Structures are given as C-alpha cells and as structure tokens.
Amino acid sequence: MAPAGSALHTPMMRNHTTATPDGLATVPLLDLLANRFSASDFDPHHELDAAAVDVLLDAARRAPSAGNSQPWSFIAGRRGDRVHDALVRHLAPSTRMWAPRAALLIANLAHRYIDTDTAGGTEELIEYSEFAHYDLGQAVAHLTVQAASMGLSVHQFRAFDRDAVAAEFEVPTTWEVVTMAAIGYPHGDSPRVPAGGHASSTADRRSVADVTWAAAAHGF
C-alpha cells in the first residue's frame, strides 16, 4: 500500500473545464467527478477500517430521496470477514476475476414493497416508493463521490447472483438486492474496465448536446 498522500491514493487534481455551448465561458468541473472511474484492479493489500466504511455509508444515507423515504440498505463486507467471503461466493465469473481484491464489497438493496401480512397469512405486495431504484442509485452516487475524496474507486456491478445474495442474507421479499460495488484503492495502472467487461469508459461519454433533450427542434 502506498503511503497516505501519495499520488496513487489521492484524487488527481487535473484542471477540467466544461464549455458552454457557445464556447465563450468555462466553468470548472469538480475534479472528483472528472477523474472518477470504475477501477477493475484493486490493491489486494489495502484494508479499510470500520470507521472508513461508516463514513461511506454516512455519505449514502444523507442522499435525498422521495419524501425522505430512504429506501436503501447495504450489506457491507470487508476483505477477510465472513460477509465479504459470502458475497464473493455469489459473484459471476466475470467479476470474480477482480472484485474480491477490493477492500470492501457492498450489496445495494432497495425497499420495493410494504409488508402487508394479512391475518390469513397471505402476503400482498404494495409498492413502498415508486422511486426506490432512483433513490438507491443516488445514495450510491453520494457514496462514490465520498469514496473518491478518500482516494478510493467504486466499481458498481450487476454481474452476481442477486437471488443467492438475498437468500444468503435472508433479505425479505419487500427488499430487492439491486447491485453490488467493489471499493478500494486502484492498483497500479488499473484498467478502466475489466477484460471482457463493459465497453464504455469515463472517456467514452455522450456529449452534453446529445444528452440535452432537443427542445429547440420542437419550437421551444
């Protein structure tokens, strides 16, 4: 593990600017956002202490949510503990190649339904919040930015057995295991995406113009 404050473990401070469409003015983009990427190679010797994990979860829980419903929960395992071992068992082959080396694995859960057990023992599922997935994603985004400020990379992924994780941790049917994330110090020249992994990278993004709904084309 490189010493604290080394170039490897501190966020890079490249000066990114983003231009307005007419190119006249520039405003700075946060370095934490400009330099964030999903590492696929982690320092296998780096360990996160429990206090650092709590800081990450604190960042997540402070996220806004519809009606302050806070429809999220996290299963967090640090490398070497039993939760981490259990999560590793349910990784897909593609993520098993790199995710276990991360200091922390978390499973991200969304509160989907209200538990309405009736006297007759039948269970009716009523939606807890129509924004549960949206809010969970935002909480993980908060965690990701906090992690970046600590020199950590967060690689979210779907490639694991959601049902098996739910069964292993006895997640009730009112909650859904949605994604996982591997969190740790990037190792060396960590590739941005794993071999055989997803195609896009931080550098491969749709333009601002492309993500702006074409209102002008409709006479606005």
Ligand X SMILES: Cc1cc2nc3c(=O)[nH]c(=O)nc-3n(C[C@H](O)[C@H](O)[C@H](O)COP(=O)(O)O)c2cc1C
Question: Which residues bind to ligand X, rule: CB under 6 A?
Answer: 37-38, 95, 156-159, 179, 192-194, 197-198, 200-202
Q: Are strands 104-111 and 26-28 parallel, antiparallel or unpaired?
A: unpaired
Element (H or E) spanning 57, and its range? helix 50-61
Q: Which is nearer to ligand X, 116 or 200 (CB)?
A: 200
Q: Which is nearer to ligand X, 81 or 133 (CB)?
A: 133
**First-to-last C-alpha distance (Å) of the chain:** 55
Q: How far is the CB of 28 from ligand X (least distance, A)?
A: 19
Output b/e per residue, 47-58; b: 16+ Cβ within 10 A. ebeeebbebbbe
Q: Are strands 175-184 and 153-157 parallel, antiparallel or unpaired?
A: antiparallel
Number of residue whose CB is nearest ligand X: 198
Residue closest to 112 by CA, chosen among 133, 95, 96: 133
Q: How far is the CB of 35 from ligand X (least distance, A)?
A: 10
Q: Which is nearer to ligand X, 81 or 138 (CB)?
A: 138
Q: How far is the CB of 69 from ligand X (least distance, A)?
A: 20
Q: How far is the CB of 198 from ligand X (least distance, A)?
A: 3
Q: How far is the CB of 192 from ligand X (least distance, A)?
A: 5
Q: Which is nearer to ligand X, 71 or 194 (CB)?
A: 194
Q: List CB contacts of 101: < 8 A, sequence separation 6 or more.
A: 41, 42, 43, 44, 79, 184, 187
Contact 70, 135 (CB under 8 A): yes
What is the Cα–Cα distance from 220 to 218, expressed in whole angstroms? Answer: 6
Q: How far is the CB of 88 from ligand X (least distance, A)?
A: 15
Q: Which is nearer to ligand X, 91 or 103 (CB)?
A: 91
Residue with tokens 């491969």: 204
